[in-house]
Every structure is written in structure tokens, then in C-alpha cells.
Amino acid sequence: DLHLLVRPIPGGISGIARLADLHDRITTPLTWGLSVDRFAYQLITRLRSDFTLADHVIHLRPWSEEQIGEFVQNRCELAELEVDFSKVKIPRQYMDVAQDEIEDRNRIGIYTMLTALSRGNPSIAIRLFADSITIAEDGSAEATLPANRDDQLFKNRSINLLLVLRVIAQVELITFDDIVSNLHFEPSVITSSLQCAMQNKWVEERNGRYRISWPWFRVITQILGRQNLLAGVRQENS
């Protein structure tokens, strides 16, 4: 993953520079395939405008409702998990009246909601679905409505917190020291912001590195985009 070579500090793209140099020195015809998050791509192109390692840039399109539904079904089959959709109450705007059976209506309604809430991102959709499953007293799995993350929780939050979230979103996985080096804030300010973010489950820590949690990724990047703090965000209609 190309963006894992990026650190948002002075000299932070030296890893990419070494990769580009290696690419230039290899004379054998090769096809290079590199993946990069779109927010990190914006950061890379701004830090290194002459970076031309990629001859072709392919943007992955959001998945359709049919693809999200098939993906969820396949994952349930792999896990040997039978989910009961008969008891969930689907909001009217998501109800598929073309289906005769109530369970089919509810299941497709859930897929519609997952697609809308994730904006076609399969990783977010499957996590939203997993979080929405409850286990009944008899051990059976029942579907509930996927959570609609409320961006009002970020209203009147400090700019320090938003800037910490931005640098994490740009790099995906980042150490505490790199956050401090990027923002030049006092470590106590970074610590306070991270504690708030982790208490609200907006950010998760993994092996000493921080990342935006998948259930909140879409909401947070949308908020940062509206605040002109993050480039490359496709804004939604209100």
C-alpha cells in the first residue's frame, strides 16, 4: 500500500522517493501496482508535485446496492450464520414493496440502508451490518437497523481535535510522535484529543498506531471536508 510509505512530517515522503528511484533504476519491463487511499493521494501530490511514478490512476467506484447485498450474503454463508430479518422494522423510505415476503422486504431494506450509510464502501457496510446483529436468548441471530452515525456529536468540537482527526485520516495508520511532529502541538493537547476520540470510538489504537475507526470513517471525513480541512472528499447532499 503506497500510502503506508507516507509520514506527515518534513521528509515524510522519503520512502516514496526511494521507491521512485528504484523504479527508475530497473530497466526490466515490469508492471507496478500500487494502492493508495484518496486522502493520502491528495497529501502525496501536494507534498511532491513532481511525483509521477503512476502512469495510470484508477479510482475505485462505490459498490452498488446489489453488490453490497451479495457481499453481506456471502460473508454470512462463509460464517455459517443465518440471520433472521423478520422482526426488524424498516423505515418506509427503505422498504422494498416489490417483495412479497416480509423477510425479503426487510433484508433488501437493510442492504439499502447499508449502501446509503456506507456510501458504497464494502468495508464500512459489513462492519455496520456486523454491529447491527443481536443474539436472541435461543442463540439465533437477529437483524436490527444499522446505526446512523450522528455528525452532530462533532458540533462545537475544538479545532485541535479536528486537526488530529485530519492527520490520522490522511495517513490511515500513524504514531503519536508523528502526530506531534506534524501539528507541532504540545503532547498533552494531542493526548487529550486522542482520549476524547477513543472514548467516542472515533479512533482506534493498534500496535502503537492510530486510525479512524471504520464505522465513523465516512462521517468524520465528510465533516473534515465541509470544514475545508481534508481534500478529496465527495460531499453528500443534505
Per-residue pLDDT tens for 168-198? Answer: 988 888 999 999 988 999 999 999 999 999 9
Reply yes or no on whether the pLDDT at 142 is more than 80: yes
pTM of the complete model: 0.67
Tell me the CATH number for domain 151-226: 1.10.10.10
Per-residue pLDDT tens for 15-29? Answer: 777 777 787 788 888
Q: 59: Cβ–Cβ under 8 A, 6 or more apart, which residues?
A: 38
Handedness of CA 167, 232, 145, 135 (dihedral sign): negative
Q: How many Å is the maximal CA-CA distance in the chain?
A: 64
DSSP percent split of the chain into helix, strand, coil, nearest 5: 50, 10, 40
**Considering only CA atoms, which of 197, 120, 204 is closest in space to residue 158?**
197
CA 189-190-193 angle, 5° bins: 85
Per-residue pLDDT tens for 190-237? Answer: 999 999 999 999 999 999 999 999 888 888 988 888 888 887 665 554
Q: Are 13 and 47 within 8 A, CB to CB?
A: yes
Q: What is the mean pLDDT of residues 35-41?
A: 73
The helix or strand, by DSSP H or E, that contains position 23, with its residue range, turns out to be helix 14-25
Reply yes or no on whether the pLDDT at 35 is more than 80: no
d(C-alpha 183, C-alpha 201), whole Å: 22
Encoded amino acid at 72, one letter: V
Q: What does each C-alpha distance from 139 to 39, 40, 70, 172, 195 come to in angstroms?
A: 42, 43, 25, 37, 35
**CATH code 1.10.10.10 region(s) in the chain:** 151-226
